[in-house]
Amino acid sequence: MIRKSEDSDREASLHHRYRKYQSLLELGQIIGLELRLDNLLLQIAQKACEVLEADRCSMFIYDPYQDELWSTVAMGLGEQVIRIPSNVGVAGHCFQSGAVINIEDAYEDPRFNREVDRKTGYRTRSILCMPLHHRDGSKLGVIQLLNKKSGVFNKEDETFLVAFGNHASVFIEMAQLQKARFEALERSRNELERLNKAKSKALDHLSHELKTPLTIIQGNLRLLRRKLQAASSFDEWKKYFEILGTHLERLLTIQEKANMIIQSYEKKDEYLFLNELDQMDGKLTERADIPSDLMAQWSELKEKIVEHLHLKPTPSPSIPIFPAIRKILEASKQKAKHREIAFLLEGRQDIELSIEPKIFGQIMEGLLKNAIENTPDEGVIQIGLEKTGHGVLVRVEDFGIGITPENQEYIFDGLFSTQETDLYSSRKPYDFNAGGKGLDLLRMKVYGQRFGFDFSLTSQRCIHLPTDKDLCPGRISLCPHCQRREDCLSSGGSAFSVFFPTHSRTIYETI
């Protein structure tokens, strides 16, 4: 009987040891994919309590900026965050000394703070506390177990906790790195959001401030022109009026575009909501198993929502794309008739697309204008049109100076010039290197967000003009680097592509 009892105790002890070390594998399986720090610490604490048969476990992480140990995992204390100086209490002494602390009677140890028990009503008896380290040996924190359920913590528990802590420290360090990355990304996102709001506010203020004085100047110029026309010396003033009129018209165009973009951004959330309505409507329409009365209720609900937003739905008409592009191209060529550029239009002529003609026209006109202003005389611009599986792809490619990689990231943001500030000079629209404000590309971006258009850019900066300070003479035959026209065409350029989905999007106009 004695031998059987000894064998039984030995077997139980071996099983208990096996269970302990098996838990190390389970720890990896349970928390290996959990990289949220708070959840990870909780799972480690729960597993430590389970295996070492402790009543409670606290995970303290070192904060080097405050020189404190903090924990959101102190079982029995709810979800409150605990912060203590890194040299206070049993946990602080363990952290500073780097030694495992095993206390059989907490109230007999001067390092134990009885005030915590007094406030919580908990009675601490035994404590097992061990420091945690990073892989480079630096201090990470402390794991502290309270009240062994049967007896006190022994040497075997200490040995196991060392292995357990080393194993857990690796996961904690990974989670800390991941958390730091997420926090850095969140800070970057918040900063970008703040800058975008500041930019929108500045643009709004600029548009508002420009509108009134420009309107007054325009009115006074008309009045002054009429008065001087009656005078015999009007011919002497005529050229000045033409110059003033040209630049005033340009400022008014910028103000109008900026105002349109501001209004579009202000309605961005409304656009996204309407897009979701359109997508849901399309999915429901495709379902044959939805009862007709339910579809009728959905249609009525959608109408009421649109009515509440003071909008009027206008289905997009279907237009033949090739003739539309050809018409816009001819208008652009007329505006750039003072330039010597070859245009090539290729693609299927039988493609139709459901889109508002005005919106399509503004997009194509903006792309062509951008290409013309970045292509030197004697250069080439190609326009391609093709049908894909789910839409239509339009590509406008120039063989001009190209865009540097650092500028490509911001090209659709608006009010962004690819030229160096000290080299910037405003020329007439469609002139080479005219120095546009990027408002046409920003407007395209807004349209894309509203109607689901997908814009992409590929660009290679001219190999002879690697930076924005390197200037192109504006005519291939004047370039000191190119002996032939083909040399320029192969040295750089940009291609803007727009993907128009074939499914129709409803246009909503303000009532």
The pLDDT tens digits for 19-45 are 666 666 666 655 555 567 777 788 888
Average pLDDT rounded to a whole number, residues 163-189 = 80
Closest CA to 374 of 336, 334, 327: 336
Q: Which residues contact 59 (CB under 8 A, 6 or more apart)?
A: 41, 44, 45, 71, 73, 141, 142, 143
Using DSSP, state whether 500 is helix, strand or coil.
strand
What's the confidence (pLDDT) of residue 8? 57
CB 41 within 8 A of CB 73: yes
CB 54 within 8 A of CB 147: yes
% helix / strand / coil in the chain, to the nearest 5? Answer: 55, 20, 30
What's the confidence (pLDDT) of residue 127? 93
Q: Which residues contact 81 (CB under 8 A, 6 or more apart)?
A: 70, 71, 72
Query: CB 148: neighbour CB atoms within 10 A?
Result: 19
Position 372: which residue type?
I
Higher pLDDT, 318 or 434: 318
Q: How far is CA 338 from CA 375, 428, 432, in A?
A: 13, 11, 10
What crossing angle do the helices spanning 2-31 and 37-52 adopt, rounded to 10°?
180
Average pLDDT, the chain: 79
Query: CB 402: neighbour CB atoms within 10 A?
Result: 23
At residue 404's C-alpha, the angle toward residues 408 and 334, to 5°, is 75
What percent of the chain is predicted at pLDDT more than 90? 26
Q: Label the pairing between strands 68-74 and 311-314.
A: unpaired
Higher pLDDT, 221 or 404: 404
pLDDT digits (tens, 9 = 90+) for 189-220: 777 676 666 666 666 666 666 676 777 777 77
What's the confidence (pLDDT) of residue 396? 96
Q: Is the pLDDT of residue 454 over 90?
A: no
The two counts, helices (H) then strands (E), for the chain are 13, 15
- Which residue shows structure tokens 């009134």? 212
Under the banding of pLDDT at 50, 70 and 90, the label for residue 498 is very high
CB 81 within 8 A of CB 37: no
Using DSSP, state whether 424 is helix, strand or coil.
coil
pLDDT digits (tens, 9 = 90+) for 71-109: 876 655 555 677 889 888 899 999 999 999 999 999 999
Question: DSSP string covering 32-55, please?
Answer: TT---HHHHHHHHHHHHHHHHTEE
Q: Cα–Cα distance between 341 and 380 in angstroms, integer?
A: 6
Average pLDDT rounded to a whole number, residues 369-394 = 92
Q: Is the pLDDT of residue 170 over 90?
A: no
What's the confidence (pLDDT) of residue 9? 54
Query: Which range is most confident: 65-74, 296-305, 494-503?
Result: 494-503
Instruction: Evaluate if pTM is beyond 0.75.
Output: no
Average pLDDT rounded to a whole number, residues 117-131 = 87
Q: Cα–Cα distance between 316 and 336 in angstroms, integer?
A: 31
Least confident span in 221-235, 368-382, 445-459: 221-235
What's the confidence (pLDDT) of residue 43? 82
What's the confidence (pLDDT) of residue 19? 64
CA 184 to chain centre: 13
Phi and psi at residue 17, to the nearest 5°? -65, -45
**H or E element at residue 190:** helix 155-229
Exposure string (b/e) for 162-179, b if CB count within 10 Å is 16 or more? eebbebbbebbbbbbeee
Higher pLDDT, 269 or 467: 467
Least confident span in 269-278, 335-344, 375-384: 269-278
Average pLDDT rounded to a whole number, residues 122-146 = 90
Query: Which range is most confident: 62-76, 137-151, 200-214?
Result: 137-151
Under the banding of pLDDT at 50, 70 and 90, the label for residue 278 is confident
Q: Is the pLDDT of residue 424 over 50?
A: no
At residue 255's C-alpha, the angle toward residues 257 and 495, to 5°, is 35
CA 56 to chain centre: 42
Under the banding of pLDDT at 50, 70 and 90, the label for residue 421 is very low
What crossing angle do the helices spanning 292-308 and 268-286 adopt, rounded to 10°?
170
What's the confidence (pLDDT) of residue 422? 43
Q: Cα–Cα distance between 97 and 331 in angstroms, integer?
A: 81
Q: How far is CA 358 from CA 37, 324, 361, in A?
A: 52, 11, 5
State the DSSP code for 397. Answer: E
Q: Is the pLDDT of residue 466 over 60?
A: yes
CB 261 within 8 A of CB 414: yes
Q: Cα–Cα distance between 214 and 217 in angstroms, integer?
A: 5
Q: List the alpha helices (DSSP H) in 267-340.
A: 268-286, 292-308, 321-335
